Amino acid sequence: MRNICVKCGQRPVAINYYKNNKPYYRSKCDHCAKGRKKERPLWAFHGYQKKNSCDRCNFTSKYLEQFNVYYVDGNPMNNRYTNLKTVCANCQRILHKLKLPWKQGDLKPDF
């Protein structure tokens, strides 16, 4: 089910990209998204903030680049706080190995 554009509230949101044949959507329609330079990832839009510590191993760093936000159930549309985790680069590899459903929230920077 496609969301409605958060800006105009009329047109359906634009498709951002496809992964595993599954479409991921933007928060705005094509029309409203035009001319915009940078769009925050969905989790940021929903008020989640990347932490400076890993939710898995408690690794801390002052460099936020070492962390990524993951969706625990693998569904990037589920932006509830409980579904979002900050994961360090180290744990990301482990997540991948364990084949957990966790999915990175900002796979493709939307610049």
The C-alpha angle 108, 109, 111, rounded to 5 degrees, equals 130
- Bridge partners of 84, per DSSP, are 71
Closest contact distance (angstroms) between CB of 82 and Zn ion is: 18
Is residue 88 near Zn ion by the rule CB under 5 A? yes
Closest contact distance (angstroms) between CB of 50 and Zn ion is: 13
Closest contact distance (angstroms) between CB of 4 and Zn ion is: 8
Is residue 14 near Zn ion by the rule CB under 5 A? no
What phi and psi values does residue 18 have, to the nearest 5 degrees?
-110, 140
Alpha helices by DSSP H, 11-111? 30-33, 42-45, 89-98
The correct pick among 50, 51, 56, 103 for binding Zn ion (CB under 5 A) is 56
Question: What residues contact residue 17 under an 8 Å CB cut-off, 6+ apart?
Answer: 23, 24, 107, 108
Alpha carbons within 13 angstroms on the beta-carbon side of residue 50 total 20
DSSP state of 66: G
The correct pick among 14, 32, 69, 84 for binding Zn ion (CB under 5 A) is 32
Interacting stretch for Zn ion, rule CB under 5 A, among 17-25, 37-45, 55-63, 96-104? 55-63
Closest contact distance (angstroms) between CB of 40 and Zn ion is: 16
Binding footprint of Zn ion on the chain (CB under 5 A): 5, 7-8, 11, 29, 32, 54, 56-57, 59, 88, 91
